[in-house]
Amino acid sequence: MDLVSKILKNPKMWDIAQKIFGCDEKKQQMYRAVMDKPGKILDFGCSDGNAFLGFKDMEYYGLDIDKTLIEFAKQKYADFPNAKFIADDIFNKPFEENFFDHVLFACTGHHLPEDLINKVMKELCYVLKPGGALYIFDTIRRPGKDPWYIRSLIALDQGKHMKTESWYKENMSKFDERFTVEETDVFKVGGNFAPQPTWFYAKLVKK
């Protein structure tokens, strides 16, 4: 494990790093902005719950396999009765079928190898209500376009499976036959302390 990874294993250091480099407030705003109604939301791969404050008007469930980060999130948001944090694996089926109105899959894709992400998406479709939506937000590589400093940031990122726009567009239709891709976008998040890789966004609605 490299020095950066060792430091970020500490939840407090991870939280600070996200505030400085992760543009938490902007993420919270853009995640919430794509959802036109409240309801139950699953934040898959929620880490320390750094997206929660964008969903204070919703029944929020944060799921992550990292027990240390989940315990940190529980303490951090103990004053919010609508915030529930669960340390578990989605393959253990911790939720009933058709339980959520929304599923947020944000900054998680670049932590998952390609063969695993397809299996995860089927489980996320299982817990999503018909008519509900899965929202993908992920930083991506742009081979031949990313400047050197972005390539350096990508190399330092803890997620070692950074994908491309073309990968998402080619594979989303294979995630689950019940999903319909309704929106996609590629954009930059500016005005941050540190530069950001390009972002990919997609909205998948369950039939």
Which tens digits make up the pLDDT trace of 163-187? Answer: 999 999 999 989 999 999 999 999 9
Q: Note the pLDDT of residue 159.
A: 78
Q: Note the pLDDT of residue 26.
A: 84
Q: How large a percentage of the chain has pLDDT more than 70?
A: 86
3-206 CATH: 3.40.50.150
CA 120, 80, 12: angle at the middle one, nearest 5? 70
d(CA 96, CA 123): 11
The sign of the torsion formed by the CA atoms of 42, 45, 49, 53 equals: negative
Q: Note the pLDDT of residue 152.
A: 85
Q: Note the pLDDT of residue 198.
A: 94
Q: Note the pLDDT of residue 114.
A: 93
Q: Note the pLDDT of residue 10.
A: 55
144: which 2 tokens? 């031949």
- Which parts of the chain have pLDDT scores under 70? 1-23, 158, 191-194
d(CA 162, CA 171): 14
